[in-house]
């Protein structure tokens, strides 16, 4: 089989799995996994390809969730318009964060994004539009173009799947475009990228805004799925969770983070009732294990295994 | 009644004193972070969890073994320091060759584990720790009742911070430390055991967090989440101050405590966000932080 | 007890007569879901104790009434988060065929689950959450609000404190919907009883350091500082008020406190405070008998939430047995028809807005030297009759109530 055929077969398999998943699993859970998969892949665009660790992505996820929720609930906009507004809001917020944060690098970048996200969290807590601690509840799912009733889980599932597929497609295009190549160059050697004449800050900012916007799409979609936007979405634990998903799945692999999201969300769903508060201990252990011994993540390890088995570097 | 912008002086002075107390905690914690960062180039995300552990050890000491506050103040930082040394030897030392971000991620994982364990064991509703008898009561300063214990917190933290500064800037040990920070390889070539210095620095920085925990136990409830709420503010403090100098982290910590106190007088709703706003402003004007050096 | 059974039987006969289709119980299993806070700030109030109270109710019901159907209890931790609660409820209703969800400590989780339950037409019995929104703006016909609400606790406490001479008030309010509604409820009561409110200060939620807000409250010179917050926030405010010499010069009034908070703070810090609860274990032989059984299982005395849950689940199971159905509307109709008479409530009844109306009690915390044995914490100062304790229907904002 040639490379191209294999890749095409892979995509067909993925699409088939996506279409059939609700026959075998609880559709709401699959939709949750999809939202977090998109979230993690968007986050990975920044960490895996631009080398920027943001510890504040919850702000975009939660911010978009609230904006979309508010628009759907109070302005009664159609479902897709609500999602679009959420995404745009996240992009704007991402631009603001990016302007401030890309002035510093590495650990500072992580701390600044974390602090800014915490500020957003407090704003979400205090402004009257978000319902504060109670969250924004009873967000109507509405319908698609007035034709398809989204209150039905199955109908909504295919819309969510299509939206996430769109998100993945954008990410993949971005990574394999010249823009993605420049990002990788910056990650590998920033001074060299500068000396080659690239406006590094602009590229970083653009990557940041793109990542924030797609994160926003994921957050807004989650609001639609659960009819609910809550402070949890904007909390720093959520920022940490997405780092974990990315790490588990495979940092810098295109679809690794999606696998990681699937693993972590399913794990949390299964464990929550059995071990209670020990969930966070287990998550912490996975974190430590990944950092110490498993830095390539599931997909990264599989790729390495495949390469060593075939003796093929690519 | 005279005052500033309609706020009477006594209320203003009272809030300033309280800001000083909070600033003391920020100062000790950001000092510990700065020491660790200087030697290991790692941002210790577990700092908040270890601060919480300090408070819990004080509580457990009193509850299970009858160890009072005075001894806790001496023993707990040492214990937490030892925990830190174990962490450094068991985990962190394997990461020095890698991107510094992995240190942040590892300590984040450790923070989740430590917090989760205490949460599982003790719940999150908070456990009371009585103010030690000799420090109960309050000084009447005329404009406010300053509880003795709060005054004690300010005194202890200022002297610890000052002591640390003197050790690092004025003693031989401090000179080794600073040398190892500047150029570890050259320092090792002079026959100084740099890995040992690194381990000790981590133990010391973490011990400071433990000390802050003991100091905090009687003021706040002993609560598994007490650290994670605080650590993000301290991160902002660190960004504002820049990691450049020991003195810088102390001054910024106290200063921001005071600013936070003032915001509680003039616009209480903003008190949770004021530190982050200051951070954004500083980043716009001086990206390296107030005391930081441009890399 | 006998008359109680009689009325239940009568109600059953009536509802059977009124019912059209043959009643039945799906799979012959009644499934009760306990959604509560197992590890968070309210785990002492609810948590494992709440789940066990439900288990006790089920065990007692099976032993005493020998039902022909099986009863299952499932429980989960909602971590005080509305989104987790709503997901779990969806899953329970969709996948696990849960008939009724109960406890729901914290308002956000209760409101979230109520919406899902309405959508899926299943029952909700709220016990742990307190906001009056549950039976007002957000009320629906599948929800019963059992144990208490902020109107009752703020009303009882504030009225008593004003009558004791605490005329001028200042509020320390948690800056979110729940705190604000608590403050509003209490403000109305203070004004109505001839007191005045000097102002309020809002603290971030959750807070750790209340000292600066307390200083503001102190500077106001009010007689009473009303604590419009809950859980750990209330506990910390009380501790720190003592530290700054605010108490005993000014009085603190906890607008929502539970026996578990008093237990956690100790009598030294809480002595003399007034608070309103709908249950105290040491009130009479009936409450003592039940509470001691609870104590043997949980090694702590029950909170009003635990007691309320036992009462609610028992009432629900009797309604199921009486109607021979687990159909939501039929069971709800039977529950509303039957008065509640047990150790928790006397002559209690469920109003159309879902409020279970029963007496509540004004308590005063004992001085340390007055406490004779473990958990001997309260003087019961006054019994507030149900129709005074809860918001009258004439002021209801519930769409189900025709004005």
> Which residues on chain A are in Cβ contact (under 8 Å) with C204?
122, 125-126
- The answer, yes or no, to whether residue C10 has pLDDT greater than 60, is no
User: How many angstroms separate the CA atoms of B209 and C24, rounded?
Assistant: 62
Cβ–Cβ gap B124/C203 under 8 Å: no
> Which residues on chain A are in Cβ contact (under 8 Å) with B110?
284, 288
Nearest CA in chain C to B143: C219
Where residue C122 sits, what CATH number does that domain have? 3.40.50.2300
Does C174 lie in the same domain as C109? no
Taking phi first (over 0 means left), then psi (-120 to 50 degrees means alpha), and beta for anything else, what does residue B144 get?
beta
Does C240 lie in the same domain as C169? yes
Give the E-state strand segments of C37-180 in sequence order: 70-77, 100-103, 123-126, 143-145, 168-174
Lowest-confidence pick of A250-254, B7-11, B78-82: B7-11
Q: Which domain holds residue C260?
A: 151-278+359-386
Which of A58, A65, A154, A228 to probe by mutation at the C interface, max C CB count within 10 Å? A228
User: How many angstroms separate the CA atoms of C332 and C347, rounded?
Assistant: 18
pLDDT tens figures, A30-52: 999 999 999 999 999 999 888 89
pLDDT band at B219; cut points 50, 70, 90: confident
Cβ–Cβ gap B265/C245 under 8 Å: no
> Does residue C261 fall inside a structural domain?
yes
> Which residues on chain C are in Cβ contact (under 8 Å) with B230?
208
Reduce the DSSP state of residue C71 to 3 states and report it.
strand
Chain C interface includes B11 (CB < 8 A)? yes
Contact A154, A25 (CB under 8 A): no
Average pLDDT, chain C: 87
Cβ–Cβ gap B272/A122 under 8 Å: yes
Backbone angles phi, psi at C71, to 5 degrees: -125, 130
List the C196-203 sheet strands across, edge first.
C196-203, C168-174, C224-228, C251-254
Using CB atoms within 10 A of its CB, is residue B89 exposed (0-12), middle (13-18) or buried (19+)? middle
Residue A21: what pLDDT?
82
Q: Report the half-sphere exposure of A198 (CA within 13 A, side-chain side).
A: 24
ipTM: 0.85
Does C134 lie in the same domain as C6? yes
Does C7 lie in the same domain as C135? yes
Residue with more model confidence, A24 or B164 = B164
pLDDT tens figures, A276-289: 678 889 999 998 99
pLDDT band at C87; cut points 50, 70, 90: confident
Distances (CA, A) of A234 to A53, A64, A117, A130, A224: 17, 10, 8, 11, 16
Residue C213: what pLDDT?
86
Q: What angle (nearest 5°) sits at the alpha carbon of residue C193, between those of residues C188 and C196?
A: 70
pLDDT tens figures, B149-161: 888 999 999 999 9
- The answer, yes or no, to whether residue A314 has pLDDT greater than 70, is no
Does C193 lie in the same domain as C339? no
CA-closest candidate to residue A253, choices A314, A297, A201, A210? A297
Residue B121: what pLDDT?
84
The chains found to touch B (3+ Cβ pairs under 8 angstroms) are A, C
The chains found to touch A (3+ Cβ pairs under 8 angstroms) are B, C
**Which residues, in sequence order, are bridge partners of residue B138?**
B147
Residue B213: what pLDDT?
94
pLDDT tens figures, A253-274: 888 999 999 999 988 888 877 7
Residue A83: what pLDDT?
93
Chain C interface includes B148 (CB < 8 A)? no
**What is the share, in percent, of chain A residues with pLDDT greater than 70?**
97
User: How many angstroms separate the CA atoms of B98 and B104, rounded?
Assistant: 11
Does C248 lie in the same domain as C226? yes
> Does residue C367 fall inside a structural domain?
yes
What are B247's two structure tokens? Answer: 């003195």
pLDDT tens figures, C124-174: 999 988 888 899 988 999 999 999 999 999 888 999 899 888 899 999 998
> Does residue C322 fall inside a structural domain?
yes
The structure tokens 């040639």 sit at A2
User: How many angstroms separate the CA atoms of A284 and A187, rounded?
Assistant: 27
User: How many angstroms separate the CA atoms of B174 and B167, rounded?
Assistant: 6
Of C76, C87, C111, which is closest to A134 when you measure between CB atoms?
A: C111
Average pLDDT over residues A80-98: 94
User: How many angstroms separate the CA atoms of A21 and A23, rounded?
Assistant: 5
> Does residue C402 fall inside a structural domain?
no
User: How many angstroms separate the CA atoms of B31 and B235, rounded?
Assistant: 11
SS (H, E, C) chain A: CCHHHHHHHHHHHHHHHHHHHHHHCCHHHHHHHHHHHHHHHHHHHHHHHHCCCCCCCHHHHHHHHHHHHHHHHHCCCCHHHHHHHHHHHHHHHHHHHHHHHCCCCHHHHHHHHHHHHHHHHHHHHHCHHHCHHHCEECCCCCEECCCEECCCHHHHHHHHHHHHHHHHHHHHHHHHCHHHHHHHHHHHCHHHHHHCCCCHHHHHHHHHHHHHHHHHHHHHHHHHHHCEECHHHHCHHHHHHHHHHHHHHCCCCCCHHHHHHHHHHHHHHHHHHHHHHHHHHHHHHHHHHHHHHCCCHHHHHHHHHHHHHHCCCC
Q: Is the peptide bond before C206 cis (omega within 30 degrees of 0)?
A: yes
> Does residue C215 fall inside a structural domain?
yes
Does C371 lie in the same domain as C226? yes
- The answer, yes or no, to whether residue B232 has pLDDT greater than 60, is yes
Chain A interface includes C38 (CB < 8 A)? yes
> Does residue C403 fall inside a structural domain?
no
Average pLDDT, chain B: 85
> Which of 202-241 (B) contact A at CB < 8 A?
228, 232-233, 235-236, 238-239
How many Cβ atoms sit within 10 Å of the Cβ of residue A124?
25
Does C364 lie in the same domain as C377? yes
Supply the pTM of this predicted model.
Answer: 0.86
pLDDT band at C318; cut points 50, 70, 90: very high
> Does residue C365 fall inside a structural domain?
yes
Cβ–Cβ gap B102/A291 under 8 Å: yes
> Which residues on chain A are in Cβ contact (under 8 Å) with B277?
119
Using CB atoms within 10 A of its CB, is residue A40 exposed (0-12), middle (13-18) or buried (19+)? buried
- The pairing of beta strand A148-149 with beta strand A143-144: antiparallel
pLDDT tens figures, A223-233: 999 888 888 88
pLDDT tens figures, C89-137: 998 998 889 999 999 988 888 998 999 999 899 999 999 888 888 999 8
Of C206, C232, C243, which is closest to B131 when you measure between CB atoms?
A: C243
Contact C216, C246 (CB under 8 A): no
Distances (CA, A) of B195 to B19, B96, B174: 38, 11, 15
Rounded to the nearest angstrom, the minimum Cα separation between C41 and chain B is 4
Rounded to the nearest angstrom, the minimum Cα separation between C38 and chain B is 8
Residue C403: what pLDDT?
60
Helices (H), C197-266: 211-219, 231-243, 259-265
Nearest CA in chain A to B242: A108
CA-closest candidate to residue B109, choices A221, A191, A247? A247
Does C272 lie in the same domain as C363? yes
Which of C45, C174, C217, C243 to probe by mutation at the B interface, max B CB count within 10 Å? C243
Residue with more model confidence, B125 or A62 = A62
Cβ–Cβ gap A281/B116 under 8 Å: yes
Q: How many domains does chain C have?
A: 2
The structure tokens 């509580």 sit at B59
Contact C161, C362 (CB under 8 A): no
User: How many angstroms separate the CA atoms of C292 and C307, rounded?
Assistant: 12
Contact C73, C143 (CB under 8 A): no
Distances (CA, A) of B66 to A25, B60, C264: 54, 9, 19
Chain C interface includes A226 (CB < 8 A)? yes
Compute CA A56 distance to the chain's CA centroid, rounded to the nearest angstrom: 12
- Dihedral angle over CA of A296, A299, A304, A306, nearest 10: 170
Contact B272, B34 (CB under 8 A): no
Average pLDDT over residues A288-307: 87
Length of chain B: 295
- The answer, yes or no, to whether residue A67 has pLDDT greater than 50, is yes
Q: Is the peptide bond before C248 cis (omega within 30 degrees of 0)?
A: yes
Residue B3: what pLDDT?
56
pLDDT tens figures, C320-333: 999 988 899 999 99
pLDDT band at B184; cut points 50, 70, 90: confident
pLDDT band at B223; cut points 50, 70, 90: confident
- The answer, yes or no, to whether residue C5 has pLDDT greater than 60, is no
Average pLDDT over residues B266-270: 77
Does C166 lie in the same domain as C144? no
Give the E-state strand segments of C262-341 in sequence order: 274-277
Lowest-confidence pick of A53-67, B1-15, C55-69: B1-15
pLDDT tens figures, B44-69: 989 999 999 999 999 999 989 988 89
Does C49 lie in the same domain as C156? no
pLDDT tens figures, C187-237: 999 999 999 999 998 887 767 778 888 888 888 889 999 999 887 788 888
Residue C21: what pLDDT?
41
Residue B203: what pLDDT?
93
> Which residues on chain C are in Cβ contact (under 8 Å) with B262?
none
Does C17 lie in the same domain as C143? yes
Nearest CA in chain A to B46: A284
Residue with more model confidence, B225 or A263 = A263
**Which residues, in sequence order, are bridge partners of residue C340?**
C348
Residue A20: what pLDDT?
83
Backbone angles phi, psi at C176, to 5 degrees: -155, 170
- The answer, yes or no, to whether residue C312 has pLDDT greater than 50, is yes
Contact C228, C171 (CB under 8 A): yes
- The answer, yes or no, to whether residue A313 has pLDDT greater than 60, is no
Of A53, A118, A280, which is closest to B112 when you measure between CB atoms?
A: A280
**Which residues make Cβ contacts (< 8 Å) with residue A95, sequence separation at least 6?**
A205, A208, A209, A212
Average pLDDT, chain A: 88
Q: Report the half-sphere exposure of C28 (CA within 13 A, side-chain side).
A: 4
Rounded to the nearest angstrom, the minimum Cα separation between C166 and chain B is 23
- The answer, yes or no, to whether residue C30 has pLDDT greater than 80, is yes
pLDDT tens figures, A113-140: 988 998 999 888 888 888 777 788 888 8
């Amino acid at each position: 089989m040639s490379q191209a055929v294999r890749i095409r077969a892979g995509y067909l398999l993925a699409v088939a799995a996506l279409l059939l998943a609700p026959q075998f699993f609880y559709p709401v859970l699959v939709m949750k996994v999809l939202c977090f998969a998109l979230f993690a892949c968007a986050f990975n665009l920044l960490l895996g390809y631009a080398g920027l660790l943001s510890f504040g992505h919850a702000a975009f996820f939660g911010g978009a969730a609230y904006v979309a929720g508010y628009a759907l609930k109070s302005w009664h906009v159609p479902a897709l318009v609500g999602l679009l507004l959420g995404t745009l809001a996240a992009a704007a917020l991402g631009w603001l964060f990016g302007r401030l944060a890309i002035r510093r690098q590495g650990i500072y970048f992580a701390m600044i994004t974390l602090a800014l996200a915490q500020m957003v969290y407090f704003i979400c807590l205090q402004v009257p539009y978000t319902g504060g601690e109670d969250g924004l509840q009873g967000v109507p799912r509405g319908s698609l173009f007035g034709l398809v009733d989204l209150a039905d889980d199955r109908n909504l599932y295919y819309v969510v799947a299509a939206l996430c597929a769109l998100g993945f497609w954008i990410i993949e295009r971005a990574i394999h475009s010249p823009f993605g190549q420049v990002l990788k160059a910056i990650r590998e050697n920033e001074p060299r990228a500068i000396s080659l004449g690239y406006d590094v800050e602009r590229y970083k900012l653009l990557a940041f805004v793109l990542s924030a916007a797609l994160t926003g799409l994921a957050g807004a979609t989650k609001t639609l799925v659960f009819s609910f936007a809550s402070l949890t979405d904007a909390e720093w634990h959520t920022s940490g969770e997405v780092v974990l998903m990315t790490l588990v799945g495979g940092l810098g692999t295109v679809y690794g983070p999606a696998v990681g999201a699937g693993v972590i969300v399913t794990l949390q769903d299964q464990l929550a009732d059995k071990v209670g508060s020990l969930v966070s201990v287990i998550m912490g252990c996975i974190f430590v294990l990944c950092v110490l011994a498993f830095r390539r993540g599931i997909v990264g390890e599989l790729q390495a295994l495949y390469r060593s088995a075939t003796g093929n570097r690519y | 009644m005279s005052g500033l912008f309609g706020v009477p002086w006594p209320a203003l002075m009272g809030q300033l004193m309280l800001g000083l107390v909070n600033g003391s905690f920020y100062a000790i914690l950001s000092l510990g972070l700065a020491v660790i960062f200087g030697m290991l180039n790692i941002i210790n995300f577990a700092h908040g969890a270890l601060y919480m552990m300090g408070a819990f050890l004080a509580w457990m000491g009193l509850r299970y073994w009858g160890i009072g506050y005075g001894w806790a103040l001496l023993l707990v930082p040492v214990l937490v320091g030892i925990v830190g040394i174990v962490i450094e030897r068991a985990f962190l030392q394997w990461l020095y060759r890698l991107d510094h971000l992995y240190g942040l991620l590892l300590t984040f994982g450790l923070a989740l584990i430590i917090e989760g364990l205490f949460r599982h064991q003790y719940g999150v509703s908070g456990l009371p720790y009585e103010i030690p008898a000799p420090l109960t009561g309050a000084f009447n300063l005329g404009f406010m009742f300053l509880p003795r214990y709060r005054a004690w917190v300010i005194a202890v933290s200022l002297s610890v911070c000052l002591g640390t500064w003197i050790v690092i800037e004025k003693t031989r040990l401090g000179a080794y430390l600073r040398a190892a920070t500047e150029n570890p390889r050259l320092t090792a070539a002079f026959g100084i055991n740099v890995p040992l210095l690194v381990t000790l620095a981590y133990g010391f920085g973490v011990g400071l967090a433990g000390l802050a925990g003991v100091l905090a136990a009687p003021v706040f409830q002993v609560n598994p989440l007490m650290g994670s709420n605080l650590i993000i503010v301290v991160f902002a403090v660190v960004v504002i101050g820049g990691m450049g100098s020991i003195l810088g982290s102390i001054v910024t910590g106290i200063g921001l405590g005071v600013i936070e106190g003032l915001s509680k007088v003039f616009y209480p709703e903003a008190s949770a966000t004021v530190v982050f706003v200051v951070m954004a402003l500083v980043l716009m004007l001086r990206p390296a932080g107030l005391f930081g050096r441009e890399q | 007890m006998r008359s109680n059974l009689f009325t239940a039987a009568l109600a059953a006969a009536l509802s059977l007569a009124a019912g059209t289709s043959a009643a039945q119980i799906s799979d012959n299993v009644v499934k009760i879901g306990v959604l509560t806070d197992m590890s968070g700030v309210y785990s002492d109030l609810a948590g494992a104790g709440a789940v066990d109270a439900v288990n006790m109710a089920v065990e007692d019901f099976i032993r005493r009434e020998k039902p022909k159907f099986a009863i299952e209890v499932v429980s989960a931790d909602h971590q005080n988060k509305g989104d987790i609660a709503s997901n779990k409820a969806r899953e329970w209703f969709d996948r696990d065929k849960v008939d009724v969800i109960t406890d729901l400590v914290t308002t956000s989780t209760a409101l979230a689950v109520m919406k899902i339950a309405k959508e899926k037409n299943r029952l909700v019995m709220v016990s742990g959450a307190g906001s009056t929104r549950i039976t007002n703006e957000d009320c629906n016909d599948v929800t019963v609000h059992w144990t208490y609400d902020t109107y009752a606790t703020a009303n009882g406490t504030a009225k008593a404190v004003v009558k004791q001479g605490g005329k001028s008030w200042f509020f320390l309010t948690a800056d979110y919907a729940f705190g604000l509604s608590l403050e509003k409820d209490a403000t109305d009561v203070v004004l109505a009883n001839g007191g005045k409110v000097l102002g309020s200060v809002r603290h971030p939620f959750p807070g750790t350091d209340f000292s600066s807000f307390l200083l503001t409250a102190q500077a106001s010179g009010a007689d009473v500082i009303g604590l419009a917050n809950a859980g750990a926030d209330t506990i910390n405010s009380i501790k720190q008020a003592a530290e700054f010499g605010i108490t005993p010069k000014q009085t603190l009034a906890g607008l929502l406190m539970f026996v578990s908070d008093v237990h956690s703070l100790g009598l030294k810090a809480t002595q003399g405070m007034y608070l309103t609860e709908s249950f105290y274990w040491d009130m009479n032989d009936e409450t003592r008998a039940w509470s001691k059984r609870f104590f043997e299982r949980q090694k702590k005395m029950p909170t009003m939430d635990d007691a309320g849950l036992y009462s609610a689940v028992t009432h629900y199971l009797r309604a199921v047995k009486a109607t021979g159905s687990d159909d939501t509307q039929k069971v709800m109709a039977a529950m509303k028809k039957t008065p509640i008479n047990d150790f928790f409530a006397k002559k209690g009844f469920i109003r159309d807005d879902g409020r279970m109306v029963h007496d509540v009690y004004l308590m005063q915390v004992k001085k340390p030297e007055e406490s004779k044995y473990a958990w001997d914490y309260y003087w019961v100062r006054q019994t507030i009759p149900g129709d005074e304790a809860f918001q009258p229907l004439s002021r209801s904002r519930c769409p189900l109530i025709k004005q």
